[in-house]
Structure 1
Amino acid sequence: MASPHSQCSSFLADQPVTGVVMAGGLSSRMGQDKTQLSLNKAEYADLLGRTARILQEVVGAVCIVGREHPDYPSFFDDEPGLGPVGGIATCLRRTGTACLVLSCDLPFMTAQVVRRLLELRNQSPAETLVTCYVQQETGYSEPLVAVYEPGALPYFQECANKRLLKINRIVPEDRQQFIYYGMPESLPFFNVNYPADLEAARRILMAGGEG
């Protein structure tokens, strides 16, 4: 875990959090709108709805960035063309709260994984700006399974202005908190970018994987 700040007595638990579904991608690699895809699980009509319901279970208030949706507050990026950087900046600006961000293309994500992230965030020092998962073996962070605090907005805005869109390099590491996960725990972070990914996800589901 980065920068534990063990002597700090002020924590983030009292600050409100909004769940944000990141749904602004063009789905060009998939060849069809990823948000409307389904793994044939009756309780979740599509990936966007599934993601929104997970967030709603964990934090209550949910909004959609990048798509209109009849059941949730939704808005488009304030400045199009900036990818996730623009989407996160937009949700921080529009909600004025911390944002628990979740990509809409994670068919095996669970409320338990998201809840664990929120629990670490709530126990983190007040100067923390990002709480996210990191893959232990590779060091790869999961910037779209993360909590961003309102204080992160100036960092995102500066990088957006400069078109510096490497999302995991925007906020200094000493202002972040990390949860490390290993390969045996990696299924919830499996995302579907290509048709082959979707077929692989369906095979996993048929073989008894989580859905």
Structure 2
Amino acid sequence: MSAPHAAVSAPVGVVLAGGLSARMGSDKRGVRLFGDSEPDLLTRSAALLEQVTGEVWISVRDGLPLTGGYLRLRDEEEGMGPLGGIMTALRAAQDAVLVLSCDLPFMERPVLEKLLAARAQRPAGTLMTTFVQQETGYIEALVAVYEFGALEWFRRAAERGVYKVSRVVPQELQHRVAYSREESLPFFNVNYPADLEMARRVIRALTT
């Protein structure tokens, strides 16, 4: 078995917020699921990353106003989806990045801390630390830490026209943290209006 990696610096936190929200029909980044006085999805995601990383960047496609003094990153090459955002972030950071999709209303700080703890214990040579749903084998490629060395794999994927992020880093270079269906709420994402309604029902159930 490979030895755990030596001590590592904190990665840059990157909120992936460059999607078109086409399936939602409206910009989901500004949705306030927890009430009008609570942060929207984008602001909530950035605040979570700020709690566990030393710096937070926002990967966006447009002139969306940002609060909190976060650095705005625009994809060097557009039209690649999250792959383009992660590739741009790795090039800018010249170091590891912790990416978080902005559409995860139930993501929590302990989940991100668990990810970072796993990264600190990853085998030498590992380029991606992520979560895997143990019953299905689905990996959470948009809640993951990518080491700088993963940039070459992203470049190759882009050259081949492979834009699905979960297919970029080979499995043997991934360090995975398993979670069960019972632990899946933090990974629930909102892509469609029906997802928003489901999220609102969950919130009502949790608060009544």
Normalised TM-score (structure 1): 0.91
Residue identity matched to 1:29: R
1:127-184 per-position Cα deviation (integer Å, ceiling 9, x unaligned): 1100000111111111001000000001101111221112212111111100111110
Match of 1:84 among 58, 82, 85: 82
| 2:26 is the counterpart of 1:32 | yes
CA RMSD of aligned residues (A): 1.5
Match of 2:52 among 41, 58, 61: 58
Q: Which moved more, 1:138-147 or 1:156-165?
A: 156-165
CA contact (8 A) 1:77 1:90 kept: yes
Alignment map for 1:44-193 (pairs within 5 Å)? 44-67=38-61, 68=64, 69-71=66-68, 72-193=70-191
Residue identity matched to 1:199: E
Map of 2:8 onto structure 1? 14
Moved over 6 A (4+): none
Change over 3 Å in CA distance of 1:113–1:38 after alignment to 2: same
In the alignment, structure 1 segments of 5+ residues that lack a partner are none
Measure the CA separation in 1 of the matches of 2:56 and 2:37: 18
CA contact (8 A) 2:94 2:148 kept: yes
Measure the CA separation in 1 of the matches of 2:6 and 2:185: 28
Give aligned-pair identity as a percent: 51
Normalised TM-score (structure 2): 0.92
CA contact (8 A) 1:19 1:99 kept: yes
In the alignment, structure 2 segments of 5+ residues that lack a partner are none
Change over 3 Å in CA distance of 1:66–1:208 after alignment to 2: same
Q: Post-superposition shift, 1:63?
A: 0.4
Measure the CA separation in 1 of the matches of 2:90 and 2:38: 27
1:11-36 per-position Cα deviation (integer Å, ceiling 9, x unaligned): 15323410110001000011111110
CA contact (8 A) 2:10 2:53 kept: no
CA contact (8 A) 2:10 2:54 kept: no
1:94-117 per-position Cα deviation (integer Å, ceiling 9, x unaligned): 111201110000000000001100
